[in-house]
Structure 1
Amino acid sequence: MTARTTQHPGPERERTSPAGPHVLYVRFHPTARSGSLDPDTYTRLLGLLAEFTPVVQALPPDTAIADVRGALRYFGRDAAGLAALVRIRALARHDTDCTIGVAANPLLARVAAGTTGRPGAIRTVPDDPAAVAGFLARKPAGVLHGVGPATARTLSAYGLDSVGRIAAAPPATLQRILGASAGRRVHERARGIDPTSVTPQAPPRSLSTEHPFRQDELDPDRRRRALLMLACRLGDALRTEGRLARALTLTVRYADGSTTTRSRTLAEPTGHTPALTAAAYALHDALALQRARVRGVSLRAEKITGDDSAGHQLTFDEQATRARILEPVIDRLNSRWPGAVRPATLAGPDAAAESGRPRSA
């Protein structure tokens, strides 16, 4: 007589997924014909996802997370089948392709979308502890949401350079290295556990502007020049509308069509061009793109608010004070004669081509 062992789901499995794969992490990719993904198209794509589920969390400028748990029975498809349907409709209606990760929680879906290997692919992580462990084992620590470059370097210094090694490490060891809260959180994520849920959220009020290069750009000085131009556009638009930005997002598009997006919360709400420029430079420099072939860059001013309730930190920097005093004068000159006053770095034969207004979303 053969003994049969009945396995009951432990707490890890319960926290991983109560309903199998049901989270879609969708990254939109404009086709070569459509060019770039503008905010209006992104809003329409969010509406497309809303046709399947009301639980859609916007992650501008080109990503969204959807919980389709309640749509599986209605459409008679599993989550991967719904992902394929989303991709078909995005291509047909908006000329936009999708890379989609399908999993039991946002963490695994995000990692799956980042490892599909090519735009337009759909990758599903089965809702099985062994499959999840195998999927994550060889991934670098940096794929875990919340593990930035500094944390990854700290873990690597202790030989914990892969998700599999982090998952195998005793929780107490990670807590000694990273601290109690961070160590516990990283250990759970290395095992594919993510208790967060998809929160319905519309894209926040924002302004964006972009600059495509005529050819794949390797020169960091030319990329910084483009960022200065974009920061000038955003600053002018914010001040014209009487608005301030609380955060700035940089998106870099590469020759292979992939993108990198980084955001920074500003020290204070601002529409001051030098402050926006400094933040854009810092985001760019942190990416260390020495050998990257960059096809275009874009800046997005986010968490926009009115300027009537914001304060400004006083400073003893006389040059910064003079720049703030002169800025309204320059704005009035440029409103009458567009482009009359601009940084000397931006002067040149391409000045006309570099003019443009940011898009509102």
Structure 2
Amino acid sequence: MSRKQQLHRPGPPPGPPADDTGCAILHVDMDAFFVSVELLERPELRGRPVVVGGTGARGVVAAASYEARAFGVHSAMPMSRARRLAPHAVVLPGRHDRYRAVSAAVFELFHAVTPLVEGLSLDEAFLDVSGALRRLGRPAEIAARIRAAVAEQQGITCSVGVASTKFVAKLASTRCKPDGMLVVPADGVLDFLHPLPAAALWGVGERTERTLDRLGLRTVGQIARTPLATLQRELGGALGRHLHELAWGRDPRPVVPEARDKSVGAEETFDTDVDDPAVIRRELLRLSERVGARLRDGGHEGRTVSVKLRRADFSTVTRSRTLREPTDLARVIYTTACELYEASGLERVRLRLIGVRVENLAPAGTAPRQLALDDIGDGPPESAGGGTGGAASVDDWRAAERAVDQVAHRFGRGALRPAALVRPAASGGPRGASDGGPREPNGSDGKRRG
């Protein structure tokens, strides 16, 4: 049995209700989220292997149905390999605006239960329901309510782990997938943990697993029974103590609500390597538009703009600049990204991937603004296709971009766009998997999809 199969094999069959006393931590994980959302509009595909991700030569799997996983397909896998493993699978391009909309509706359900919601991604969150017990019942009853509400209101399923700690709750949700619920009693944590494979512990990657295997430590229980000093000698002080604590079920971390995004970014992988600066600038504009829209949708502004430039040989260069004031304007992000690209010395170097990211985020409108001379009569930046417009203030641009947001919310992203992005992209253009979509296998923002 492979490492992945060990971690995702089904949990125990249903039995008498477990004692959920003291188990106020829930981990809710949507089942094959991207695929589940797609099947809402393609119900004829239910029961078939379905893969969501980039469809180009360098596409990457973002999510796979459980039928596709039976063939060995999983997220972050190159799409070319997924097609070889499951040649009859239906491959669908990602629609990330749609996934974010469903995610937002699901999180509204979570917040109706408790204000203590810690989102980990679009499709999973921790909830501390200790304050909702008197109003809604026992933790297992609350978990059942959430599962029923998600299914009824959104038409998709989720799996819920109920436990006394975040670590155990997450393990429980993993082992009851898909469409299940598992309660791990507070006094039964060690009975649950100790038979699990060592790889179930957070912090055990393939390299650490090989070290543990060399030591004969193949289960969590074996790690727990190993002296702390031995673990620290073999694994290092911090990791050794970390695994020792988890192996004994100790995880004191609280649920942290409304964890603020640290950055917002988007990136594109080209179907063929590109060394044309005009094409690169056009894609920087496209990415800046997406990042700006996501900042405004999330109510954020950021002070640091960075670009990621990956060469054909996979070596990656990043450049960043901190602005005088925070921004959520695509115009400002794009201008800065172009300047960073031009200063990188890679304008005639073949690139396979580019990315734009805004960091050092804060709630929009909270930072003091200083009027500068160049804020008045400052025309738009030169577009990717050339040409400039008339004078416009920062407020004018902000009003214009928010008007575009309103059109996008009503008619879909792309209904209104800069003229430079209307022209057909040059040969070797991007495959369109960005702002949270499929990425290079070694790219950022990756996550296992449940």
- TM-score normalised by length of structure 1: 0.61
Question: Which of 274, 289, 307 lines up with 1:240 in the alignment?
Answer: 289
Say whether the 8 Å CA contact 2:106–2:150 is kept in structure 1.
yes
Superimposed CA distance per residue, residues 51-82 of structure 1 (whole angstroms, 9 cap, x where no aligned partner) = 1110000111211110001111221x211110
Distance 1:144 1:33, change over 3 A: same
User: Aligned pair in 2 of structure 1 residues 52, 134: CA closer, same or farther (>3 Å)?
Assistant: same
1:41 CA drift (Å): 1.2
CA distance in 1 between partners of 2:123 and 2:245 (Å)? 28
Cα offset, 1:237, TM superposition: 3.3
User: Structure 2: where are the runs of 5+ without partners?
Assistant: 1-20, 43-94, 275-279, 295-303, 317-327, 357-380, 387-418, 438-450
Per the alignment, residue 33 of structure 1 pairs with: 40
- How far apart, in 1, do the equivalents of 2:127 and 2:181 lie? 14
SS at match of 1:88: helix
2 CA distance for matches of 1:329 and 1:278? 30
Which structure has the higher relative contact order (CA within 8 Å, separation 6+)? 2
Hey, what does 1:109 align to over in structure 2? 169
**Pairs within 5 Å for 1:119-268:** 119-128=178-187, 131-201=188-258, 204=261, 206=264, 236-240=285-289
1:36-55 matches, cutoff 5 A: 38-55=99-116
Change in 2 beyond 3 A, CA 1:85/1:137: same
1:332 and 2:392 matched: no
3-state DSSP of counterpart to 2:157: strand
User: Is 1:233–1:357's contact at 8 Å kept on the other side of the alignment?
Assistant: no
Q: CA deviation at 1:320?
A: 3.7
Deviation sequence 1:251-295 (CA, Å, 0-9, x none): xxxxxxxxxxxxxxxxx9644564799599xxxxxxxxxxxxxxx
- Does the 8 Å CA contact 2:159/2:178 hold for their aligned counterparts? yes
- Displacement of 1:149: 2.3
RMSD of aligned alpha carbons: 4.6
Measured at CA, do residues 48 and 114 of structure 1 come closer, stay the same or move farther in structure 2, by a change above 3 Å? same
Q: 1:21 aligns with which of 17, 20, 23?
A: 23
Deviation string for 1:16-35 (max 9, x for gaps)? xxx71111100113543256
Match of 2:138 in 1: 78
Distance 1:339 1:88 in 2: 45
Deviation at 1:87, TM superposition (A): 0.6
Q: 1:197 offset after TM fit, Å?
A: 0.7
* Structure 1 residues 96 and 193: alpha-carbon distance in aligned structure 2, compared to 1, 3 A threshold: same
CA apart distance, 1:162: 1.6
Cα gap change, 1:244 to 1:44, in 2 (>3 Å): closer
For 2:121, give the aligned amino acid: P
Which secondary structure state, in structure 1, belongs to the residue aligned with residue 28 of structure 2?
Answer: strand
| 1:67 paired residue among 124, 128, 132 | 128
How far residue 183 of structure 1 moved from its aligned partner, in angstroms, is 0.9
Extract unaligned runs of 5+ from structure 1: 1-18, 211-222, 246-267, 281-303, 347-353
Paired residue secondary structure (2:186): coil
Alignment-mate amino acid for residue 29 of structure 2: R
Whole-Å separation in 1 of the counterparts to 2:313 and 2:110: 35
Distance 1:200 1:66 in 2: 9
- For residues 148-201 of structure 1, the C-alpha deviation after alignment (integer angstroms, 9 at most, x for no partner) is 222222222211122111111111111111222221111000111101111002
* Paired amino acid for 2:110: L
- Percent identity, please: 28
Name the CA distance, whole Å, in 2 between partners of 1:235 and 1:224.
12
CA distance in 1 between counterparts of 2:195 and 2:315 reads 34
Q: Is the 8 A contact 1:23 1:67 kept in 2?
A: yes
Q: In 2, Cα distance between the equivalents of 1:141 and 1:54?
A: 34
CA separation in 1, counterparts of 2:130 and 2:139? 8
1:34/1:177 CA distance change after superposition, 3 Å:
farther
Q: Distance in 2 between matches of 1:274 and 1:309?
A: 18
SS at match of 1:25: strand
Tell me how far 1:224 sits from its aligned partner.
Answer: 9.6
Quick one: distance in 2 between partners of 1:316 and 1:203?
34
Greater displacement, 176-185 / 84-93: 176-185
Whether the 8 Å CA contact 1:26–1:65 is kept in 2: the answer is yes
User: How far is the alpha carbon of 1:104 from its aligned partner?
Assistant: 0.3
- The aligned amino acid for 1:38 is Y
Measure, in 1, the Cα distance between the counterparts of 2:40 and 2:115.
30
